[in-house]
Chain A
Amino acid sequence: MLLNGIRGRSFSRAPRSGGKEGEQIMSLSLRESVQTVSDPKSLDASVKEVFKLMLGVSCQRESAPHVASGEFESVTAVVGFGGMLSGACVFRSQGDVAMKVAAHMTGMEFNSVDDTVKDAIGEVCNMLAGAWKGKVPELAAHCGLSVPAVITGRDYNLHVQAPEFQLNHAYSFEGARFSVTIICDGLQ
């Protein structure tokens, strides 16, 4: 799976402002605020906010990176960024954790990674992407989100070709571990 290939047609375009004010805004460069954009604290705050408000659970950042075992089914959701920043937000967990996330969101119980679980994980990833880009005003206004794509299976890897920067954090709630990755492969 080549995440760099994801950007393109599927993105909703970042809105353009008209007139002089709009031109000034569009002349801004994210390169000047790359430290803010790549601040790990923004991702941690976004994950904690989404899980607290939508699942009602507290999340902790884990020191060791989360590695999904090829032995078990895993669920990966991807939401692409387009516009001033291109790249993707990736949520990844094992199937049982995905079911637990969906159960907290819906109040239902799940025995398999069915369409509702995939839908829930896609929405979580969508909210994580939105919350993260919302931390930087230029990004919030001039970076669009794609609709989520969800991949399930065993023993697959994610390959990213030379990103501009990447944040890969592991988190846990109630003993369930998952990872959230922000991949930036282009900045204006």
Chain B
Amino acid sequence: MSEIRTLIVDDSSVMRKIVERALRQAGIDPLVVHEAGSGIEGIDVLKAKQVDLILSDINMPSMDGLEFLRQIQAQNLAPGVPVVMITTESSEEHVKQAIQAGARGYIRKPFTAEQVKERVLPLLNAA
């Protein structure tokens, strides 16, 4: 597998590390990780870097994950790049909102590395 450039957006630095570890455990390696603590920081990263995969929390201060998704679409910042939401919000309504905003996958916290593998690998293989 060629190098996978990934943006992880979460207001918790601990969760960003856990997601990175889960990606490596899922066999997504070599992996280059860019981190952002909010949707606003995520937008800034996407303006400066090219990525192959975006993983984002929903419930964040300053700009939440759904608004981050809408901004990516509106500004055409990462065309064709799969976005997977990783969040504690897991109702059908939340999933529907995320898919409508452009998400290609959804992982509920708490999660296992196996779940990350199941949701993320098919998206990378299809890209």
Contact = CB atoms under 8 A, between A and B. Distances in A.
A120 B88 contact: no
B89 A119 contact: no
Contact of A106 (B14, B64, B87, B91): B14
Contacts of A50: 110
A105 B18 contact: yes
Interface in A2-31: 12, 15, 17
Given A127-B88, A130-B89, A137-B91, A119 B13 contact: yes
Interface stretch (A60-68, A139-147, A180-188): A139-147
Contacts, number: 66
A54 B18 contact: yes
What bracket does the count of chain B residues touching chain A fall in? Answer: 20 to 34
Given A127-B110, A130-B109, A147-B59, A140 B14 contact: no
B89 A145 contact: yes
B94 A15 contact: yes
A4 B88 CA distance: 23
A129 B110 contact: no
Q: Main SS of the interface on chain A?
A: helix
A168 B59 CA distance: 25
What bracket does the count of chain A residues touching chain B fall in? Answer: 20 to 34
B15 A123 contact: yes
A145 B59 contact: yes
Complex A-B, nearest 4 residue pairs according to Cβ-Cβ distance, in ascending order? A130-B88, A53-B110, A140-B91, A141-B91
